[in-house]
Structure 1
Amino acid sequence: MSLTSILNIANSGLQTAQTQLRIVSDNVSNVNTPGYVRKIGDQVSLTSQGVGTGVEVSRVRLATDRFLQAASLSAGAESSRQGVRYELYDRIQSLFGDPGGDTGFFSQIDDIFSAFAVAAEDPVSAPRRQEALFRAQAVFDEASRVSNQIQAVREDADGRIQSAVERANSLLQQIEVLNQDIARAKILNGDASGAETEQGRMVAELSGLMDVQVTSRGVGGVSIRTGAGVMLAGAGAATLEYNRAGTVNAETSFNDIWITEPGGAKRAFADGLVSGEIKGLMELRDVDAPQTAERLAELVSHVADELNRAHNANSAVPAPGSLTGRNVGQTLETAITGFTGETTIAVVNPTTGAMTTEVDIVFSGATLTINGAASTPATFLADLNTQLGGAATASFTDGRLTLTATGANGIAIADSATTPTDKAGRGFSHYFGMNDLISTDRPAFYDQGLTATSLHGFAAGQTLTFRFTAESGMKIRDVKVTVPGPAGTVGELITALNSTGSGVGSYGAFTLGPTGELTFKGYGDPPARMSVLEDTTTQSPSGVSAAELFGFGGVRASRADGFTVRTDIRQSPAKLALAKLNLAAPAGTTALSTGDGRGALGLADAGQTTVRFSAAGDSPGGSLSVSRYASELSGEIGGRAQTARSRQLSAQALATEASSRQANFEGVNLDEELVLMTTYQQAFNASARMIQAAKDMYDMLLGMI
């Protein structure tokens, strides 16, 4: 072996030891750097014609394990998903206050009924009346606040989805740039470990936004796909697009997130998305929050309805001169049809409380009598005015029935004690809302007693556009349904809605229940979610839309912020109806008396009356009292928050364990690095001594010449 060969071998050993020491130095200096992956220099022997010619570092690589990396990315994505769901749902839970405290929302509902029980003890006490009204108004104000804040949380989630999409685009572009840098370094046999470390950090951040699959490219860098296999990076950066909805309410339909692959193909991003922050935000926005809002609306609507049920059975003293009902969303003929039982409309003297005129109405389905005279739903208004004989007048305008007494007299309505009126579970006065305590700006209940032959009141040619979305949040299809003619019956409308060609029949079916409630049940497991994208319908004579009348889409969840104590009663508590009309009072004797508190007891007991709740959120509904429903909802909200917390902790623990195992393999161990440092120092010294020995030999040979 020549001296030149010895020098070359020693020099290669010297350079290799220096490179390895530099790698060790980088590792030690980054021992506490989060996300830093330990570098490894792959050292190989050099040979020429079977003879050793030295040593070199063939490449500097990162100490990665693709299985540990995949497990860590997957666990991190799920942790982000569950973390953001818990964070936002916890905000929703906090809106209701402490369920076991005295100031929480649900305890305030019980306070209403307690206040009316106190008012019954002294029904003429203005302060007690005022306190009961204050308690009632406080609940509906709080319900409105909670409802609006739930939508604010959804709006926040929607905004964060847009921010996450923008961040994902930025990360994908940077990852693709680093792919090029790494590939260039590989071709030139350079050190790409710094770029690979930075790229790994970005991939980890991207996996927190969405679930990704990462594979190494042969030329260096990584290829990234979504869990559904859509290309994100590796052959160019994909681009995500999302336009947030702006102001969000319960009826908002959200836009899709679109992804344009490097090749130009455009797909729905949510299809196949299973974890990550974006998935968690979509689930909170589209599932968790809407379900809670719908349950809240169902509860508040029944609190209002049960107070109105009791108040409509009562009368103020003196009786009011006029009673105006709510908008029933139907013609009077349709609304009157289907009642059974007996009710009495009385004109009452304001001074003596005696009935001066009494009109008895007996319903029997499509037939009825007024003071014994036969009548029909079509002639009901004219026949009623005839029997009132000028003592009062009845009118029906814009879906509202109005009764007005002549002169200074008042109007009171009371059902028969033995055969009370009933249509879909509501009496005559209650159904029309003639003496409601709680008013609302929209239809509050949807079990209206309609049948397939009832006229729906919408003009032929008007349209409803429904949007169907998959469980993932991806839009499936928008379906426009046209109101059919010419008869305009509810049965015809249902047939048009359920058409597989021009309706929603491919995704589910609308059915009319025994109480006249129109409900939709989707096909599949899980079924597609339905919302109303556009509604151009207007009902005559009420002016309400089909979505409002039947409770399509998010309309049901929007009811909670529309209730208030009737303005005239709130301004004058004396108008609060706490007495009951005595139908058995002989002519000329008092039928309404000051100090009668029987009606207040009815209001106090309203929370314990068993009523039918519709399906709302993930609750199937059923028959139970308002107080029981409130208690169950309170427990459910707390339970869901606890479940979300448990899922978040479990996912976080799994992510921590996966990250810890990855760090143990990829991180820097100071003991190992110390051993390597000693080894390479000795190798460096050995190479240096070899060079010195070769020099000495050169000097000796030169001296011999």
Structure 2
Amino acid sequence: MSIAKALNNAVSGLTATARGTETVASNLANIMTPGYARREVAQSAQTLGGYGGGVRIDGISRVVNATLVAESRLAQSGSADARTRLDFLLQMGDIVGLPGEEGALSTILGEFTNALQAAATRPDDELRLAGVVDAAERLAERLNAASGAVQDARAAADKAIESEVATINAKLEQVAYLNRRIAIIESEGNDPSSLLDQRQAAIDAIAEIIPVQEVARDRGMVALFTTGGAVLLDGSRPSRFEFSAVGQMTPDLSVGIPPVMRLVQNGVELSAAQMQLFEGGSLEAHFAVRDQLAPQIQQELDALAFDLHERLVDPAVDASYPATAAGLFADGGTRASLPTIAGLSARITLNPLVNPDAGGELFRVRDGLGTAFSGPVADSALLLAMADALSASTAFAGGAGFEGNGSLSSRFSELEARVALRRVAAESESSVRNSRSETISGRLMADGVDSDAEMQRLLQYEQAYAANARVIQAIEEMMDQILRL
């Protein structure tokens, strides 16, 4: 081998080891960077005139397990879906409470029943009558607060949808831009690895909101679809999504009736069937909270408020008041009815006729809402009748899944148990999905940058560098010897 060829081999080896060292340094520096894929230097033997001519660098390759990345994105979507639902049910569990828990709906109802029974033992005691009014007012306010919390959760979900739609649009635009840049860089023969990392991170962000499928296209570009088949990006222009949050939610607002809207894609509002194409991520979970989970609890609260109202307007309980008038609890000052039951828990109030702060009289709690003057102070019949009405096992006409006969207390406890069971089921589902996501993320990390392997590769590059440097040193010594001849 000639000195020139030997020198060429050594120089090409030094160049290759330098590129390799840079790659190792980049891998180690980005070991925890989301979306970063391990780099490897692709090398091959170079020939000159049919003889070995050193090392040729063919490029820098990204080592990515596409199947594992796709699984990781689906797992992230499922985990985000379950987490969003669980967060809502945890909030509702705190609002509704558990049987026997301080502040729970059934506990507040129990305090009202106890106040009635205590007043019945001393119907002449105005302090005990005032205790009945206070307990009734707390019960109505507790139902109002629970309904308000449900609607606040719906409004928060609606706002979250608006925010996530903005994120989807921004990330799709980013992917489209990176598609164009990658195509240009590849056509120029340069390495687009850093842009590929950015694109992967952008797609990962979309996948948490909507489950996506990535499909390779020509010139290094990709197309994106939801797992249900909706087109997100296929070409140079991504789909454009629109959504406007309502702001304040009320029980009478429901999906499909303006201003409550579904997702708008490319100027067209999607139908309920088309919305199924976007199932599986946090976006679909927020829609579920707004349109299904929260309205379900609202209906149950309204049904319990209606049952409370109906038990105390029975003429057998208080015959002093007209049959069409409201009882101890009123629907905005009037009598509640099934056709207007929606949102009743938000509107139910204590009848002002018994509330001294509203110009009423305490004696009406004992003598009847329709009485104009105080009757016998020892008469406890009405107080006992109201307490008995609350504890009576009766059929339920308010719907919301409450079936059979039962007392009002048992139905309040049933609602608390329902919410608790839904929360437990959501916790279990979230745990399973999080475990799957963590497992796949662990596999993805293991398939990525391994610091031990990178350090071993660095040692190999160091040895190769030393060998090539020794060749150049030997050539220099030979040239010195020749020049001294």
TM-score with structure 1 setting the length: 0.62
Structure 1 residue 575 corresponds to structure 2 residue 361: no
Equivalent residue, structure 1, for 2:182: 182
**Distance change in 2, residues 1:651/1:198 (3 Å):** same
Equivalent residue, structure 2, for 1:219: 219
**Distance change in 2, residues 1:311/1:131 (3 Å):** farther
Match of 2:276 among 271, 278, 301: 271
Equivalent residue, structure 1, for 2:257: none
Equivalent residue, structure 2, for 1:306: 311
Deviations 1:518-544 (A, max 9, x none): xxxxxxxxxxxxxxxxxxxxxxxxxxx
**Distance change in 2, residues 1:306/1:70 (3 Å):** same
**Distance change in 2, residues 1:616/1:201 (3 Å):** farther
Structure 2 CA distance for aligned equivalents of residues 649 and 660 of structure 1: 16
Alpha-carbon contact 1:216-1:222 (below 8 Å) kept: yes
Please identify, of 15-24 and 59-68, the stretch whose mean Cα deviation from structure 2 is larger. 59-68
Match of 2:330 among 439, 445, 449: 439
SS at match of 2:220: coil
Structure 1's unaligned 5+ residue stretches are 316-322, 326-428, 447-549, 582-591
Equivalent residue, structure 1, for 2:453: 672
SS at match of 1:636: helix
Alpha-carbon contact 2:11-2:468 (below 8 Å) kept: yes
Letter in 1 for 2:265: I
Greater strand percent: which structure? 1
**Distance change in 2, residues 1:56/1:231 (3 Å):** farther
Structure 2 CA distance for aligned equivalents of residues 32 and 702 of structure 1: 54
Match of 1:297 among 289, 297, 302: 302
Alpha-carbon contact 1:296-1:560 (below 8 Å) kept: yes
Equivalent residue, structure 2, for 1:522: none
Match of 1:257 among 263, 284, 302: 263
> How far 1:42 sits from its partner (Å)?
1.8
Structure 2 CA distance for aligned equivalents of residues 654 and 169 of structure 1: 28
Matched pairs, number: 468
SS at match of 1:223: strand
> How far 1:696 sits from its partner (Å)?
5.1
Structure 2 CA distance for aligned equivalents of residues 616 and 8 of structure 1: 87
Structure 2 CA distance for aligned equivalents of residues 216 and 44 of structure 1: 27
SS at match of 2:284: helix
> How far 1:266 sits from its partner (Å)?
8.1
> How far 1:299 sits from its partner (Å)?
0.6
Deviations 1:249-279 (A, max 9, x none): 112132121223xxx9986672312211111
Match of 1:652 among 434, 441, 447: 434
Alpha-carbon contact 1:116-1:604 (below 8 Å) kept: yes
Structure 1 residue 600 corresponds to structure 2 residue 389: no
**Distance change in 2, residues 1:195/1:579 (3 Å):** closer
**Distance change in 2, residues 1:691/1:614 (3 Å):** farther
Structure 2 CA distance for aligned equivalents of residues 185 and 243 of structure 1: 38
> How far 1:579 sits from its partner (Å)?
7.1
SS at match of 1:624: coil
Alpha-carbon contact 2:144-2:345 (below 8 Å) kept: yes
SS at match of 1:36: coil
Residues 32-431 of structure 1 correspond to what in structure 2 (within 5 A)?
32-47=32-47, 50-236=50-236, 237-253=238-254, 254-260=260-266, 270-309=275-314, 312-315=317-320, 323=321, 325=322, 429=323
Structure 1 CA distance for aligned equivalents of residues 207 and 295 of structure 2: 27
Greater helix percent: which structure? 2
> How far 1:700 sits from its partner (Å)?
6.0
SS at match of 1:576: helix
Alpha-carbon contact 1:130-1:573 (below 8 Å) kept: yes
> How far 1:595 sits from its partner (Å)?
2.4
Alpha-carbon contact 2:366-2:380 (below 8 Å) kept: no
Give the alignment's Cα RMSD to 1 decimal: 2.7
Structure 2's unaligned 5+ residue stretches are 255-259
Deviations 1:649-694 (A, max 9, x none): 221111111111111101x222211211111122222233334444
Structure 1 CA distance for aligned equivalents of residues 49 and 279 of structure 2: 56
Structure 2 CA distance for aligned equivalents of residues 436 and 575 of structure 1: 11
**Distance change in 2, residues 1:113/1:271 (3 Å):** same
Structure 1 CA distance for aligned equivalents of residues 209 and 32 of structure 2: 25
Structure 2 CA distance for aligned equivalents of residues 697 and 102 of structure 1: 93
Structure 2 CA distance for aligned equivalents of residues 154 and 142 of structure 1: 19
Alpha-carbon contact 1:27-1:38 (below 8 Å) kept: yes
Structure 1 residue 626 corresponds to structure 2 residue 408: yes
Structure 1 CA distance for aligned equivalents of residues 65 and 126 of structure 2: 77
SS at match of 1:9: helix
Structure 2 CA distance for aligned equivalents of residues 168 and 229 of structure 1: 16
Please identify, of 50-59 and 186-195, the stretch whose mean Cα deviation from structure 2 is larger. 50-59
Structure 1 CA distance for aligned equivalents of residues 270 and 310 of structure 2: 46
Alpha-carbon contact 1:577-1:599 (below 8 Å) kept: yes
SS at match of 2:87: helix
**Distance change in 2, residues 1:703/1:230 (3 Å):** farther
Structure 1 CA distance for aligned equivalents of residues 34 and 242 of structure 2: 31
Alpha-carbon contact 1:579-1:593 (below 8 Å) kept: no
Structure 1 residue 661 corresponds to structure 2 residue 450: no
TM-score with structure 2 setting the length: 0.88
Alpha-carbon contact 1:89-1:289 (below 8 Å) kept: no
Please identify, of 93-102 and 133-142, the stretch whose mean Cα deviation from structure 2 is larger. 93-102
**Distance change in 2, residues 1:600/1:207 (3 Å):** same
Alpha-carbon contact 1:123-1:578 (below 8 Å) kept: no
Deviations 1:176-202 (A, max 9, x none): 222222222322232222222222222
Residues 474-489 of structure 1 correspond to what in structure 2 (within 5 A)?
none
**Distance change in 2, residues 1:121/1:181 (3 Å):** same
Structure 1 CA distance for aligned equivalents of residues 54 and 397 of structure 2: 83
Structure with the greater alpha carbon radius of gyration: 1
Structure 2 CA distance for aligned equivalents of residues 210 and 615 of structure 1: 37
Letter in 1 for 2:442: S
Structure 1 residue 561 corresponds to structure 2 residue 346: yes
Equivalent residue, structure 2, for 1:684: 465
Deviations 1:51-110 (A, max 9, x none): 433322322122210111111111111111111111122122212245322432221112
Deviations 1:583-627 (A, max 9, x none): xxxxxxxxx85522222211111122233324644x253332212
SS at match of 1:603: helix
Letter in 1 for 2:363: A
**Distance change in 2, residues 1:234/1:22 (3 Å):** farther
Residues 466-477 of structure 1 correspond to what in structure 2 (within 5 A)?
none
Structure 1 residue 613 corresponds to structure 2 residue 396: yes
Structure 2 CA distance for aligned equivalents of residues 579 and 250 of structure 1: 32
Structure 2 CA distance for aligned equivalents of residues 147 and 209 of structure 1: 28
> How far 1:698 sits from its partner (Å)?
5.5
**Distance change in 2, residues 1:311/1:50 (3 Å):** farther
